[in-house]
Amino acid sequence: MWFTMKKRLSRNEEFEIMKLVLDKFLWLGFGVMAFGMYKLFTDTFTTGITWVAVGAILLIIFVTIIVKEYEIVSTSNPSNKRMVKRR
């Protein structure tokens, strides 16, 4: 049997990949909200508001995923913040 070793990612590499993936999900949430705004002006009010609410719920879910996975650790300098993965 041929075994392949899986490459272990560093914390920084994990964070960069997670940023790329979650960025797409956040764009999806804003896209749904924009579609809701379009429907708000072209269709009925309730249809538009429903789509805007669905987009907002998507954004809240994805933001909670980000906050659960990573926490912002501040140092003595407030402008020097870094993201640290929770273990």
Residue-range domain boundaries for the chain: 11-85
Confidence (pTM):
0.60
Mean of pLDDT over the chain: 77
Q: Which residue has the higher pLDDT, 37 or 24?
A: 37
pLDDT band for position 36 (cuts 50, 70, 90): very high
Task: Quickly tell me which residue has 């020097």 as its tokens.
Answer: 80
> How is 30-73 classified by DSSP, letter by letter?
HHHHHHHHHHHHHS-HHHHHHHHHHHHHHHHHHHHHHHHHEEEE
Angstrom distance (rounded) from CA 48 to CA 9: 43
Q: Which residue has the higher pLDDT, 67 or 57?
A: 57
Quote the percentage of the chain above a pLDDT of 90.
Answer: 30
**Which residue pairs, CB below 8 angstroms and at least 24 apart, start in 7-11?**
11/85
Q: What is the pLDDT of residue 71?
A: 61
